[in-house]
Amino acid sequence: MPHPHGSEGASVDVSLTFDQVYGFVGEGGANYHSTTNEAMTARRGHAGDGVTPVIVLEGERNVHGRVCASCWGRQTSCTGERVSQAIVGLDNAVNA
């Protein structure tokens, strides 16, 4: 399912918009650390609809989730993946 409606999860403390972080990630991706100190890589991608831009959150051993503009700043993604530790870490890395 694409990311059409946002997450039902609680908000987390991020200071930047999805578009700002998506721009930071860029074509080459961005390396950073989650709030749990896991090495992460953020990459651009698309939701299942092939159109909606997402940020793919890759951890050391697996993909933690994918976030779109609708679920950016939430504990869980539109598809139910727990992503708060990854997006807060990414937001912090952009602000560093």
Q: Where are the alpha helices (DSSP H) in the chain?
A: 18-25, 84-95
Least Cα distance to 21 among 92, 79, 82 occurs for 92
Structural domain boundaries in the chain: 18-95
pLDDT tens for the chain, 96 residues: list them.
Answer: 455 566 778 899 999 999 999 999 999 999 999 999 999 999 999 998 899 999 999 999 999 999 999 999 999 998 889 999 999 999 999 988
DSSP label at residue 75: S
Three state DSSP letters for the chain: CCCCCCCCCCECCCCCCHHHHHHHHCCCCEEEECCCCCEEEEEEEECCCCCCEEEEEECCCCEEEEECCCCCCECECCCCCECHHHHHHHHHHHHC
Q: Check: pTM over 0.85? Answer yes or no.
A: yes
